[in-house]
Amino acid sequence: MSGPALHQRHAHSAIHEAAYGEAEELTNLLQDLLLQQDHQKAVQIVSLLIEHWMTRTLRHAEEEEVGLYEEILAKDKEVMPLIVSLKRDHQLLRIALDDVKGMLSRIDETAINANQTEVLLSILDRFKLLLWLNQVHSRTEEQALLS
Residue 1 to residue 130: CA distance in whole angstroms: 27
| Residue 119: domain span | 4-145
Q: Has residue 110 got a pLDDT over 70?
A: no
Are the C-beta atoms of residues 147 and 11 closer than 8 Å to each other? Answer: no
The CA distances from residue 136 to 58, 75, 90, 114, 128, in Å, are 15, 25, 12, 33, 13
pLDDT at 112: 72
If you average pLDDT over every residue of the chain, what do you get? 91
Are the C-beta atoms of residues 138 and 16 closer than 8 Å to each other? Answer: yes
Residue 147 to residue 145: CA distance in whole angstroms: 7
Count of domains in the chain? 1
The CA distances from residue 120 to 62, 104, 111, in Å, are 28, 8, 13
pTM score over 0.85: yes
Q: How confident is the model over 18-48, as pLDDT tens digits?
A: 999 999 999 999 999 999 999 999 999 999 9
Residue 68 to residue 59: CA distance in whole angstroms: 13
Q: How confident is the model at residue 5 (pLDDT cuts 50, 70, 90)?
A: low
pLDDT at 9: 74
Question: Which position has the higher pLDDT, 146 or 102?
Answer: 102
pLDDT at 41: 94
